[in-house]
Amino acid sequence: MRPGLWLLLGLSAALGDAGADFLTKRWFSHLPPYAMALVRLLGAIPFFAFAAWFIIPPVLGRTFLYAASLIIGHIYREII
């Protein structure tokens, strides 16, 4: 990718985040902080659901499943 594209993507991400902060504080400031965060997360669900139609899930191999089971076992032992 060209450097100009990275600059454009970075600026648009920064402006989008600043706009979301502004709208959240302007229209949802009467809510508790956790509810404000939930509103922002729930607002992204339609975009993620649309993108999910175009994503091909990868096939998880034995190495990944082995590593995941080790991590889950370690977390389980820490809880108990």
Structural domain total, the chain? 1
What pLDDT tens digit does each residue of the chain (80 aa) get?
Answer: 577 888 999 999 999 889 888 988 899 889 898 988 888 888 888 988 999 899 998 888 999 999 999 999 988 787 77
Q: Please tell me the distance from the alpha carbon of residue 4 to that of residue 10, in angstroms, as a whole number.
A: 10
* Contact indicator for 36, 24 with CB cutoff of 8 Å: yes
Does the predicted TM-score (pTM) go above 0.85? no
Burial class (CB in 10 A: 0-12, 13-18, 19+), 22: exposed
* Contact indicator for 24, 39 with CB cutoff of 8 Å: yes
Q: Find the domain containing 58 and state its range.
A: 3-79
